Structure 1
């Protein structure tokens, strides 16, 4: 223990390759007391926290998981320390989107499954805290968990844990982990509403009133619910009109955006700011799934204008130093033009039309950005030119088209379009955008 914690430990760790680093540290654990192990695992967890997705995948191979299994079975690694290590590995895997097959291909997977089954089958003396820990280890590590198993044995216990309304830091972290684990379940799992709906609604509504969840916990609760839309279509009205997904997502994104210094690059960010950047990326994934799963529903409302404004602001702020975020929200805005003519007015009011025209003036544009920006404009016109027998809708669409053409004229869009005419890949611009009303 003293050897691990001396002043040369950092240099010694840096000399070990990424592939072997944790195997070496795990070997050091077997000769320590439980308290000494806790200290080493805390050090290990701190290092895991600053790893990126690639480093996590490189480090935690099936061999490392098998080593953890061997140490635990031989009582060389105390059970609570095993849980603490596995939960943190899983937490970082999911929050940084670095899932791989290494846990699935290890012997440790079946051990964890067996432990969960044993605990759930107890009629008396069930340790629910231990069960929740095991379920979190499993759901955050397994790339392809068994559907029936997790629906029957994991989801109810994790949501019960997440219903905690305590605001102390330890409990908030436990709720965050539980919801992150739940959010990692596949959208293809057809969970019955009685397994989750009332609980997840209560979690979301309570946070809306009392702000008791962390950034990641609240996003995870929404992500789990959005995934259920694939099979439970009646949830759409609840998500849109009762829980106000678009309004809440806009509020979260607006606050997160304020907390990030966009002049910094990713490697320059402190740990807390990196978490907020990761949360912004996860919201993009949640909303992409939402728009994909609800495209056929006519439930667009005024909540979306604020969301569009947030997307535009994020594109502008993230363009230079956070290209992943820029591209995620750039393409989310573009996809909105493919959904319905109902949302074109909101795209206009939210500043998206102005933004996509402005984007074409940026230097050194890639083909994909030029193409998407041009198609954004043409799609808005195309949607508004769709036939409608409703005179009120006709007048509304004509007014929106006039505003859009005013913006195009002010921004000199015809000159922009002309500059691309010699490129056959952009011949669609003349046919639609420059048509008279």
Structure 2
């Protein structure tokens, strides 16, 4: 009897150790409702259940067969996931039509089609993500500490209409949430959404090292770009289109710098780029804003640091070859505030074209409390605006003695026209700059 019991226990142990139910996942799998075999899962839910139960011992790729998957997808933390052991959900390379995941939320507590819930090292690639909701319809949501995420070559189809509610966002967050590590949002097409890329961090010390937002097409009723507290923010090759009256694009709280190049921003009466940081002292945040085509109402390029001595000013800038067309009552072509560039390496604002037909207060180029900037080879054409508040170039600075001294700025070889009857150039304060016109 004792020997029979031992033999039976040995068989149970062998089955437990070799069963796919308990083996850690590694390698390639399929998600296919019609598929069979131990490497196939019939739904996202069953695949994620296996990840949660077993964990991973190597990189894992789920190839998603074409068709529509009507289910809510929540990706949790997975044991073993790492930069080496990445988890990828991607459209099967052999597909001839879309692999679509959709869900119909009924309220704020289930308002997502795909949720990243405290997970790390996850890639979602080539899927179509949509919603069956009408009152709610958020597509991708992140919550908890979510680290090293790649959203690549997906199609997001929302139902925002003209709504400005985050209920209809493409990518958004649910508190408490902290985006961490490195995020890539690249090659996606977002249609009919209220927020495009809203990736949320709460502080310089706890949030993302970097975010790369590249080559996306975003058709939005409210916000296009809104990364928050990514230390380095790279924004290249994107197209943002306002579905209605306006679209806004915020690049918030970079610590190291912003690199925004080769973007097309069709923003209606909204903002091309609104860049703001309050980097603590001891850092040297920089700006690269080049080769962008911007149509906007209020700001073409707005770049400001916090205006007190307890924060770091901009330390380097290259604002070049941007084409900015503005309309609306009050508008700013390039607004640059609290920048203290070394005299040996001045900030450069050159070869930009700025045109404004606003009806009220207009600033083509407005440096506020800036030291050692060179503004050269630019063309500014103000064709309308107030007789007293229309300014092609406007220089100003704070009179506070607690901050660095503004001055050393150079304007040379520019074409500046104010056909609206206001000022071609106005220096509002004697503290604004030491102006050298050549």
Q: Which of the five TM-score ranges fits, normalised by the shorter chain?
A: 0.3 to 0.5
- Structure scoring higher RCO (CA < 8 A, sep ≥ 6) equals 1
TM-score (norm 1): 0.39
Structure with the higher helix share, 1 or 2: 1
The structure whose residues are more often strand, as a share, is 2
